[in-house]
Each structure stands twice: as structure tokens, then as C-alpha cells.
Amino acid sequence: MAGSTIRRQVRGAGMFALVLALVCGPTIPMAAQVSSYGDKAAGENTGNELPQVLQKVQVSQHLNAQLPLSAPFVDDTGAPVTLGKYFDGVHPAVVTTVYYNCPMLCSEEMDGLVSALLMVRLVPGKDFQIVVISIDPSETPELAAKKKAFYVKRYGHPETADGWHFLTGQRPAIDAVTGTIGFGYVRVPGPDGKLSQFAHASSIQIVTPQGKLAQYYLGVEYSPKDVLLGLIDASGNKIGSPVANILTYCYHYDPQINKHSLMVARVVQLGGMMTVAALGSFMFLMFRRDIRLGREYDLKKPDDTTTGGTDKG
């Protein structure tokens, strides 16, 4: 019995190591990815105080606000359009504001959106529209077309390309949209010291067929169920409720040293640590219980030698 108890302990230890490997394993590439940006961004994130440069980098949830449908943009084919083209009074839309040359957070946000949409049974272009607006007036329709092609390919359904719209525009139109959404951002220096990048948060918005803001989803990962329900509610012109305003920032900029460091997925990292701690505690308690039960069984089991002698007598 002692041998079987030891085997149970060894198996338990192996299972615990496997659980930790499965939970912690994905965090290793994430850490490597963050550190690989060292040549693009430097500086330490010290303290919990929000840097002065990020005071305006917020997402204020303006539910039921009307988007400026007359705002002029250029689509990914180079054609002039107004924002109202994508709101026909019948189908809702997913709207997000990013910039296409963003080296960090915007790609995480778009990846999260695509991942969620892959599990939503609605079809872009048929049931809803996807409108992506660049906040950088220097970006071109050619760049927008490349980004559209990339994400439509990642989505894996080229037949839905007509439902994806990547727009560029000038500052007045951009400001009209971001101001209505409540999307705050500021320019920050790039690696060359020029103000070529933006500090911003991450969010997507569900918008009604009439162009009214119905729901916000913050961060870089989105629940497919929430997105589906948000689109269904928005299609009926139902306005949702505010969500917890926990932001994921693109940059942490330190104006004193003229450098900035990445602040990606703080909430995701915290959630990962809490998951590891919870799983570790659960497995530890289960292993202790297994060992205790094994010891109790060993104590209660009759001695084999004594039993054998009695049989012979």
C-alpha cells in the first residue's frame, strides 16, 4: 500500500506540473513578445500613477450618442465616402478606432475582434458591418487596403470582404468620430523622436443601424457571446449598459526621459496570475486530501503478516 500511495503522489505531482505548464506556458511567448519591443520602446513603468501624457487617454462611454454620419472619409479602395454609408437603418455595425501603423496594441485589438467574430454566427456584410477608422490623418487608402486584406484573410471567409471597411480621413472627421465615441488619444514620440505614434486605449463599439452607440467592449479580448448579444440587441435599437472601465493602454510614456514602455494587457496578465494561483491552491488541497486518505487507509488496513499467520493456524 505504501508503494501505491507513493505512486499516487508521483502521479499527482506530475499532473500539477502539467497544469502549471499548460497555464503558464502561453505566458512565455507573451513575455518574449513584450521584451522584443525593447528596440522600439524603453523606460520602466514605475508606480501606479497614470503619466501626465495619458491623462486624456481614456474611453468615455457615450451610450446612445449619434455618430456623425455626414463625416467624410476615404474607403480602402480610395473612394470618398461618408460614415453614414455603413448605416442603412437595418443592420448594426462594429466600429473601432485604431491606426494601421500601430506597432503594438491595435493589432492585438484587431486579432481579438477577429477571434470573437469567428465564433459569432452572424455574417459580416449580410447581418452587420465592420467599420475600422484610422485616427492618423497621414495614413493612406493603400495602407488601409493592405490591413483589410490581412484581416479578411485571417477571418478565413473572403466572401465577407464587402462587410469590412477600413477608412482613412482628415483630422476634423476623425475628431468628430472619436469625440462622439469618447475615445481619447495623444501623439507620442516614436523611436526616432518624432511625434509619429499615438498613446491610446483599446475598445470596440457596437452601433445601431441608425448609427447610435449601443455597447462598448474594452480591452483586447472580447467574448463572442457578448458580441453576438450586443449585435442582436443593437439591431433592435436597444442601448446597452456601461461596462467596467478597465482600460488597456498602448503606451506608457515618460516625458522626462523622452521614452515610453509597453503597457499591454495588464488586466489579462493579472487574470492569468489569479488563475494560476487558484488552480495551484485547488490542486494542492486535492493532493493533500489524496495523501491523507492514503495514510488513513494504510492505518486501517490489517497487517498482512498477522492475517497470514491466523489463516495458517
Q: Between these two residues, 293 and 203, which has the higher pLDDT value? A: 203
What is the CB neighbour count within 10 angstroms for residue 285? 10
Mention every residue, 6+ apart, whose C-beta is less than 8 A from residue 55.
none
The rounded mean pLDDT for the chain is 75
Residue with cell 481614456: 58
Q: Give per-residue pLDDT as tens, 207-238.
A: 999 999 999 998 888 999 999 999 999 999 99
Higher pLDDT, 291 or 272: 291
pLDDT at residue 28, as a whole number: 33
How many residues appear in the chain?
313
Assigned C-alpha cell, 78: 480610395
Question: What pLDDT score does 228 carry?
Answer: 96
DSSP 65-127: PBP-TT-EEE-TTS-EEEGGGG--SS--EEEEEE-TT-SSHHHHHHHHHHHHHTT-SS-BTTT
Q: Is the pLDDT of residue 202 over 70?
A: yes
* Residue 185, H or E segment: strand 185-188
Looking at residue 26, its pLDDT comes to: 37
C-alpha distances in Å from residue 47, one per residue of 190, 222, 263 = 23, 28, 13
Q: Give the pLDDT confidence of 251-280 residue by residue, as tens digits.
A: 444 444 444 344 444 444 555 566 666 677
Model pTM score: 0.64
* pLDDT recorded at residue 225: 94
Nearest to 114 by CA among 127, 132, 102, 126: 132
Judging by beta carbons within 10 Å of its beta carbon (0-12, 13-18, 19+), is residue 142 exposed, middle or buried? exposed
pLDDT score, position 299:
60
- Contact between 152 and 263 under an 8 Å Cβ cutoff? The reply is no
Question: In this structure, are residues 200 and 183 in contact, taking their beta carbons and an 8 Å threshold?
Answer: yes
Residue type, 40: K
> Looking at residue 77, what is its pLDDT?
97
Average pLDDT over residues 31-51: 40
Query: Tell me, what's the pLDDT at 275?
Result: 63
DSSP conformational letter for 188: E
Question: Between 53 and 127, where is the model more confident?
Answer: 127
**In percent, how much of the chain has pLDDT > 90?**
46
pLDDT over 70 (residue 17):
no
pLDDT score for 259: 42
Q: CA-CA distance, 232 to 123, in Å (whole number)? A: 12
How far is it, in rounded angstroms, from Cα 231 to Cα 92? 6
Give me the pLDDT at residue 108, please: 83
Sorted by sequence, the CB contacts under 8 Å of residue 8 that are 6+ apart come out as: 290, 291, 294
